Amino acid sequence: MASLLDLLTGFLAAHLPTVPAPTPAPPSSCPSPASPAPLPPPATTPLTSAMVEIPYASLLHPSSSLSPLLASAYGPLGLGILAVSGVPSLSRPRDELLRLAREVSLLPPASLAATVSPDSHFQVGWSRGNEVLQGGEPDWAKGSYYANVLEDVPEPSDEEMGFGDWCGWHSDHGSLTGLVPALYLDRDGNEVPNPDPDAGLYIRGRDGSLIKAVVPPGARDVLLFQIGETAQVHTGGVLQATPHAVKGARGRAAEGVSRETFAVFMEPEFDGDMSLPEGRTIEDVQGGEAVKFLPPSVRTLGSRWKEGMDFGAFSEATFSIFYNVVGEEEE
């Protein structure tokens, strides 16, 4: 799947030179623009949108015809995620892996507690109840084991308009996240269909729209790739990360059902460069409209990114805000 990264590199080589220069400041004699009208609140009625889908076979012989698909998925109007379908030999290891994720979550509490790492902002080992939902409440419904095996246990919750109770609003802060579509297991560990058609991945569009992202059918051989904020910075905003959350299942059919998933976070080394392309500013990277519609738990890039910082410092700035929202608001 390294070829997807090759494709992105080729796509950027073709698109970065076309990034327009920042708009020059108006002459000082220009009158100040009138204050913009207040924006409407973010939409709460979701749209649905199928993800951009790229067949695995087409990655074996990449061509320029894939560039429009990358632009559609990761550009300013995209969902920030695409699906690679028809991945050979994926179905069985996905099934085995996601069942193991459930077993990890069911280990004795003392065994899980021995792996908890507050010093890393819970980015190593077991983490549950350390992240915060939009209302500032701890996210007890999701348990994660880092590195990279994730396990979600749904519990009743009325948080944030019913959203984010399987995973609160956030933007991935690395470069690219690869993940498999979720597997649903009942309390006995048997696979069941998604018990609630409204449950799943939701994306907040840059115009405030709420979009339910639809995974292509045949999820057993699909890999998903979600763009992150580091790629957004490195490309000066050509590629755009999107805030997203996972809405939990409701109703009797959802009782005792857990949602298992697995993600691999691709990112620079901790001392890796986080500079912007020449001529771009952080305001170019994250436009004003997008900032206005960010969920409250997703802080702006401008509040976390600083000139000269490396990826480790950017990660620290991101985690320290994300895991301390409750404390900040209580102060």
Choose between 174 and 195: whose C-beta lies nearer to Fe ion.
174
HSE-up of residue 246 (Cα within 13 Å, Cβ side): 20
Choose between 107 and 317: whose C-beta lies nearer to Fe ion.
317
Smallest distance, Å, CB 264 to Fe ion? Answer: 12
Smallest distance, Å, CB 49 to Fe ion? Answer: 17
Beta bridge partners of 280: none
C-beta separation of 264 from 178 below 8 A:
yes
Smallest distance, Å, CB 133 to Fe ion? Answer: 14
Choose between 172 and 260: whose C-beta lies nearer to Fe ion.
172
Choose between 236 and 243: whose C-beta lies nearer to Fe ion.
243
Interface contacts to Fe ion, rule CB under 5 A: 172
Smallest distance, Å, CB 201 to Fe ion? Answer: 9
Joined tokens for residue 149: 């095996």
Choose between 165 and 172: whose C-beta lies nearer to Fe ion.
172
Smallest distance, Å, CB 325 to Fe ion? Answer: 17
Choose between 151 and 172: whose C-beta lies nearer to Fe ion.
172
Q: Which residues are CB-contacts of 118 (< 8 A; sequence separation ≥ 6)?
A: none
Choose between 131 and 172: whose C-beta lies nearer to Fe ion.
172
Smallest distance, Å, CB 256 to Fe ion? Answer: 25
Smallest distance, Å, CB 206 to Fe ion? Answer: 17
Alpha-carbon distance 264 to 226, whole Å? 10
Say if residue 188 is exposed, middle or buried (CB neighbours under 10 Å; 0-12, 13-18, 19+).
exposed
Smallest distance, Å, CB 18 to Fe ion? Answer: 29
Alpha-carbon distance 270 to 196, whole Å? 39
φ and ψ of 323, to 5 deg: -95, 0
Choose between 131 and 221: whose C-beta lies nearer to Fe ion.
131
Smallest distance, Å, CB 58 to Fe ion? Answer: 25
In a 3-state reduction of DSSP, which class is residue 97? helix
Choose between 11 and 166: whose C-beta lies nearer to Fe ion.
166
Instruction: Transcribe 185-247 into DSSP letters.
Output: E-TTS-B---S-TT-EEEEE-TTS-EEEEEPPS-GGG-EEEEE-HHHHHHTTTSS----EEEE
Q: What is the 3-state secondary structure (H, E, C) of 45-69?
A: CCEEEECEEEEHHHHHCCCHHHHHH
Alpha-carbon distance 53 to 55, whole Å? 7
Please work out, in degrees rounded to the nearest 5, the angle formed at the alpha carbon of residue 44 by the alpha carbons of 42 and 47. 105
C-beta separation of 215 from 197 below 8 A:
no
Reading across the β-sheet that carries 167-170, which strands appear in turn?
47-50, 210-214, 200-204, 244-247, 167-170
Which residue number has the CB closest to Fe ion?
172
